Amino acid sequence: MPLKVTSKDYVVFLKLVAEKIAESKEYITALDSAIGDGDHWVNINKGFQALVNKAEILEEQSISEMFKTIGMTLMAAVGGSSGLLYGSAYLAASRITKNIEYLDIDSIYMVLESMSDEIMSRGKAEVGQKTMVDCIFPSVKAFRNAIDQQLSIPDLTNMVIQTAINGANNTLEMPAMKGRAYYQQDKGIGHLDPGAVTMSYQIVILMELINKITETQ
Ligand code: ADP
Ligand code: MG
């Protein structure tokens, strides 16, 4: 049976991410204090808490409406670059999911690709500049390869998870070329990019949930 991810399932994902972010306060704050202004955890935590508060509304919406509400909520609730980048990413996802009743593997791929493209164009960022792009872009590529190779869902999700984690880890030695880290004397070399790390949490949790849903369907 093909994968079927509903708005209700996506809200489960949002709640799991909110929990993971909430418990990573010290770690993410330390990362952004080393290379930025220290507020990335506050920003992203505020955003996901705002989404959890809207869980009941989101669950009842179509996929496209839900992504639109998520995007608007993040834009309104989250300060900093990440609010605008995630907000625009979800609005892009809303635009490409019109008329879709539920998400399957191909549409989840399309959603992630549209988000990655939108973040890169909004942020004018490319791979290798020590941002969240270094996590999402290679993950989308790995997803594409996995679909092309017709991998099973466990293999596909595993491949994307490994790529997301490696992508975040690869920011360690990169000199920053975007965002606040660019203005640090050491360009953040030797520190992970906080936005890449929180992006990896989201991609890992989404892939784990897809796997779990596949097992029960
Ligand atoms: P701010 O940098 O405005 O304080 P946050 O601390 O919430 O915002 O987010 C910082 C993260 O945003 C960085 O770690 C990086 O991953 C990401 N980021 C910053 N600028 C850009 C950009 N131009 N393009 C893509 N991602 C960016
Ligand atoms: Mg910051």
**Rounded CA gap, 69 and 63, in Å?**
10
Mean pLDDT, rounded, of the chain:
96
> Is 132 close to ligand 1, i.e. is its CB under 6 Å away?
yes
CA of 215 to the centre of ligand 1 (A): 36
Tokens of 145: 């390869």
Q: Indicate the length of the chain as a whole number.
A: 217
What is the value of pTM for the model shown? 0.97
128: left (phi over 0), alpha (psi -120 to 50) or beta: left
Q: Is 122 in the pocket of ligand 1 (CB under 6 A)?
A: no
The pLDDT tens digits for 27-71 are 999 999 999 999 999 999 999 999 999 999 999 999 999 999 999
Interval between CA 132 and ligand 2 midpoint (Å): 12
**Token pair for residue 27?**
């770690």
| pLDDT value at residue 49 | 98
- 183 CA to centre of ligand 2 in angstroms: 12
Q: Cα-atom radius of gyration of the chain, to the nearest Å?
A: 16
CA 22 remoteness from chain centre: 16
192 lines ligand 1 (CB under 6 A): no
7-31 mean pLDDT: 98
What's the CA-to-centroid distance between 207 and ligand 1, angstroms? 23
Closest Cα to residue 12, out of 197, 206, 204? Answer: 206
SS3 103: strand
Q: In this predicted model, what pLDDT tens digit does every residue of 154-203 receive, in sequence order?
A: 999 999 999 999 999 999 999 999 988 888 888 999 999 999 999 999 99
